[in-house]
Amino acid sequence: MDNLHCHKKFGLIYIRMLMQPPRIKFFVISFFSILVFGGCGDRPNEVVVYNTVDHLFSEPVLRDFERETGIKVRAVFDTEETKSTGILNRIIAESDNPRCDVFWSGDPLRTQVLKSRSLLEVYRSPVSADIAENFIDPDGQWIGFSSRARVLIYNKNLVNEEPIPHSIFDLTKEQFRGKVAMANPLFGTTTFHIAALFSVLGEESGRAFMQQLKANDIVIATSNGDVKRRVSEGSIPFGLTDTDDAFTALQNGNPIGVVYLDQDSLGTLIIPNTVSLIKGSPNAGNGKRLIDFLLSKETETKLAVSCAQMPLHSGVKTPDHIPSVLGIKAMNINYADVSALHETIQPFLKQWVENP
């Protein structure tokens, strides 16, 4: 059957089935996935990738892979509403009959969840030979590439004679009371950052640090982008955010300075993309080729240009304002431990946010 006609036909069936009682909706989704990905004829020259990275930046990379290899990429992207959990839950739901070959995640947390459920295959790509070991799963089930870092940004017009924090712990000092913003710690990379701190400091010291931040009137913004906006506009002098937001502000001509915190102590949190092969994937050979492509220096160059991500390979050509992580002291963390803490500290963080 022609693929387009096949998909239209099953689309009508899918809509009708969704009108059935809630108890069979899980079956509907699984059944429809089988029809779409496996019921419209064999596709030996394709690869299926599930992706949590913004399609604006990741889709051009996947299209380049298609042009260079002739292998058709069937990509499924998370939506802004599902915040990377939709793809994760889909892979888990399909575990008995995998439809996905490659999982491309914007951070290691969701990848670690899949590893904990034994849903990933070992693949040690030769392309990752010069990537530091701390960005590679010790069991060979995921590999990190293009990354972001958690940094402090400041407005140069507001910060003249004032001292600039150089440690995350400086933010608890009286001189910075009410002058620092960070995104809501219940979401995104801010939660990841706090979980990483808890893993390094221990739970008791981590909780104490968060209480000290609150006592020093830290300002809670809605997102990293909101932090960037507030500091760029000058409504607050300092803010914690990710390097992609910081570099965007710089490219837009905002009077922003960037500090990599704790370079003489615990280091800066580095957040790599990760790529992994799904266990039982229907196109494992093509999946490995896509993984090799994503891990290449060429891909890291593209992501440095399009979304200001920092390469993990050495010698990657990037815009002048994009540093190499090789020159940044990275926080020494175990991503599996941080992933576990990411879940366990949620009740504490919820209470921290909601109780003045």
More confident residue, 110 or 221: 221
Q: In this prediction, what percent of the chain has a pLDDT beyond 70?
A: 85
The reported pLDDT for the residue numbered 2 is: 35
Helix (H) or strand (E) holding 180: strand 180-183
Q: Which residues of 272-308 are buried (b: 16+ CB within 10 A; e: fewer)?
A: bbbbbbbbbbbbbebbbbbbbbbbbbebbbbbbeebb
CATH architecture of 148-269+338-354: 3-Layer(aba) Sandwich (3.40)
Ramachandran bin of 88, using left for φ above 0, alpha for ψ from -120 to 50, beta for the remaining angles: alpha
The C-alpha atoms of residue 97 and residue 34 are separated, in whole angstroms, by: 8
pLDDT interval class at 321 (50, 70, 90) = confident
Q: β-strand 180-183 against 219-221: which pairing, if any? A: parallel
pLDDT band at 355 (very low <50, low <70, confident <90, very high): confident
Task: Give the number of other Cβ atoms within 10 Å of residue 344's Cβ.
Answer: 11
| Range list of β-strands (E), 184-293 | 219-221, 238-242, 256-259, 270-278
What is the DSSP code string of 312-356? SSSS----TT---GGGS-B----HHHHHHHHHHTHHHHHHHHH--
Q: What is the pLDDT of residue 5?
A: 37
* Structural domain boundaries in the chain: 1-42, 148-269+338-354
Split at pLDDT 50, 70, 90, the class of 18 is: very low
Whether the Cβ atoms of residue 271 and residue 242 lie closer than 8 Å to each other: yes
- Label residue 218 left, alpha or beta by phi (over 0 means left) and psi (-120 to 50 means alpha): beta
List, for residues 178-206, the tens digit of each pLDDT value: 999 999 999 888 999 999 999 999 999 99
What average pLDDT does the structure give for the chain? 87
Contacts 24+ apart (CB under 8 A), 77-85: 77/51, 77/52, 78/51, 78/52, 83/187, 83/188, 84/52, 84/110, 85/110
- Give the mean pLDDT of 91-114: 94
pLDDT at position 345, please?
Answer: 93
SS3 readout for 60-73: HHHHHHHHHHCCEE
Least confident of 47-51, 99-103, 230-234, 323-327: 323-327
Model confidence at 55, in pLDDT bands (50, 70, 90)? confident
Check residue 33 and give its pLDDT. Answer: 44
- Give me 191's structure tokens: 């939660």
* Per-residue pLDDT at 35: 42
Q: Which residue has the higher pLDDT, 40 or 305?
A: 305
User: Is 45 or 23 the better-scoring residue by pLDDT?
Assistant: 45
Rounded to two decimals, what is the model's pTM? 0.81
| The amino acid at 184 | N
Q: Which of 268, 302, 319 is nearest to 166 (CA)?
A: 268
- The pLDDT assigned to 26 comes to 41
Pairwise pLDDT comparison (72 vs 160), residue with the higher score: 72
